[in-house]
């Protein structure tokens, strides 16, 4: 189904129902929260009852988004559940036991990850979308709903954060055009940027300092880690680890980067992978049981810091070597260029 057909089929499903639960993935980020709240505003404008549910806490810098105080942590019975940015129910920020007890009649999945999976009754996956926020915006236009300032604020935050402030390769002219229309609907871009990027807790900046001290570089690969003890020392939360990986891939001539965060309970690490250009880290994350986008992905690996680092770094080195070999094989030779 193309995007237009998906939007039209989705609108039919929405119009036939009255109540919705919306959720997104665990450790929700800007696109997860912004697109969920934006969709809630849209459904309410269509005369529906809609609740946003996140078991995980919402990072305080998203307090600026209209509707954030209404987010529930317990599952609420509804005619349909809409999952945003999830590849399975287990990765959502909904309690699985509460979900199973409620047995919703319809599940809907809206996603833009390359590793997205058709796990729901209805699936709309568009890996070309810069953010799920842009998909919700297209849905609102097709529904003929006027974009309110509240809706625009949420969708703008979703798009701003998931495009890396309009820097990632997923950003196109249409992304900027959408941002312009959201500003015309009343969004104060400066207020949103200030709340999201200029209100960091000191613990986050201190943790970044530790991560940068642990930086290692070998050829085109960079990596770093923080342990639970590091996080405890500076009073850092899990949310304070957001964004570290972007610093690692921001180094000149680095092609792929990984940030490792120690998890509690057993020897285990959460990995944030970043790449630039051709190197597809979603496939690497998938290989280790995770997923994500071409240039940003994640997964969990069991083992000690030394074991996990060795496993992932050697894998990334091999991926770089393979990429260079492929580039050489596919490059036209000097002779063929001269003959052409």
Residues lying near ligand 5GP in the complex (CB under 6 A) are found at: 25, 85, 87, 91, 113, 115, 245, 272, 290-293, 296-299
**Residue ranges of the alpha helices (H) in 16-77?**
30-45
Q: Nearer to ligand 5GP by C-beta: 87 or 280? A: 87
By beta-carbon proximity to ligand 5GP, the closer residue of 115 and 309 is 115
When the beta carbons of 148 and 222 are compared against ligand 5GP, the nearer one is 222
Closest distance of CB 290 from ligand 5GP, Å:
3
Closest approach, Cβ 96 to ligand 5GP, in A, equals 16
Distance between CA atoms of residues 7 and 154, nearest Å: 20
Q: Which is nearer to ligand 5GP, 138 or 162 (CB)?
A: 162
Q: Is 119 exposed, middle or buried (0-12, 13-18, 19+ CB in 10 A)?
A: middle
| Between 150 and 319, CB nearer to ligand 5GP | 319
The least distance separating ligand 5GP from the CB of residue 40, rounded to whole angstroms, comes to: 20
- Euclidean distance between CA atoms 6 and 118, whole angstroms: 13
The residues pairing with 109 across neighbouring beta strands, listed in sequence order, are 83, 123
Is the CB of 110 or the CB of 147 nearer to ligand 5GP? 110
CB of 189 to ligand 5GP, least distance (A): 23
Q: Which is nearer to ligand 5GP, 196 or 296 (CB)?
A: 296
Count of helix runs (H) and strand runs (E) in the chain: 13, 11
> Minimum distance from CB of 243 to ligand 5GP (Å)?
8
Residue among 79 and 302 whose Cβ is closer to ligand 5GP: 302
Q: Which H or E run contains 58? A: none
Sheet of 80-84, strand order: 49-52, 19-23, 80-84, 106-111, 122-125
Q: Whole-angstrom Cα distance, residue 46 to residue 74?
A: 24
β-pair type (221-226, 122-125) = unpaired
Instruction: Say if residues 115 and 68 touch (Cβ distance below 8 Å).
Output: no
- In whole angstroms, the minimum distance from the beta carbon of 11 to ligand 5GP comes to 26
Q: Nearest distance from residue 299's CB to ligand 5GP, in Å?
A: 5
* DSSP line for 202-248: HHHHHHHHHHHHT-EEETTEEEEEE-HHHHHHTT--GGGGTTHHHHH
Considering the complex, what minimum distance in angstroms separates the CB of residue 8 from ligand 5GP?
A: 27
CB 34 within 8 A of CB 157: yes
Show the DSSP H helices in 163-188 as ranges.
173-184
């Amino acid at each position: 189904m193309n995007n237009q057909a998906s939007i039209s089929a989705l609108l039919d499903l929405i119009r036939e129902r009255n109540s919705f639960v919306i959720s997104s993935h665990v450790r929700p980020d800007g696109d997860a929260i912004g697109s969920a709240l934006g969709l809630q505003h849209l459904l309410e404008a269509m005369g529906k009852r809609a609740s946003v549910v996140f078991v995980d806490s919402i990072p305080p810098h998203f307090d600026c988004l209209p509707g954030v105080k209404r987010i529930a942590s317990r599952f609420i019975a509804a005619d349909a559940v809409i999952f945003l940015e999830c590849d399975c129910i287990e990765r959502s920020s909904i309690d699985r036991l509460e979900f199973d007890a409620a047995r919703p009649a319809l599940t809907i999945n809206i996603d833009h990850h390359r590793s997205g999976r058709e796990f729901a009754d209805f699936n709309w996956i568009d890996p070309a979308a810069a953010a799920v926020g842009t998909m919700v915006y297209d849905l609102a236009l097709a529904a003929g709903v006027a974009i309110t300032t509240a809706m625009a604020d949420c969708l703008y935050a979703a798009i701003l954060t998931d495009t890396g402030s309009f820097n990632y390769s997923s950003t196109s002219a249409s992304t900027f055009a959408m941002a312009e229309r959201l500003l015309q609907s009343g969004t104060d871009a400066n207020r949103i940027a200030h709340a999201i990027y200029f209100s960091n807790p000191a613990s986050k900046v201190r943790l970044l300092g530790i991560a940068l001290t642990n930086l290692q570089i070998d050829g085109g690969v960079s990596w770093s880690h923080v342990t639970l003890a590091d996080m405890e020392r500076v009073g850092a939360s899990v949310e304070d680890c957001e964004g570290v990986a972007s610093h690692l891939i921001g180094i000149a001539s680095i092609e792929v980067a990984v940030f490792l965060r120690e998890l509690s309970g057993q020897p285990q690490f959460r990995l944030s992978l970043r790449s630039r250009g051709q190197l597809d880290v979603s496939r690497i994350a998938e290989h280790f049981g995770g997923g994500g986008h071409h240039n940003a992905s994640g997964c969990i690996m069991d083992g000690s810091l030394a074991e996990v680092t060795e496993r992932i770094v050697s894998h990334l080195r091999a991926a770089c070597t393979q990429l260079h070999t492929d580039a050489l094989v596919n490059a036209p030779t000097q002779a063929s260029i001269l003959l052409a």
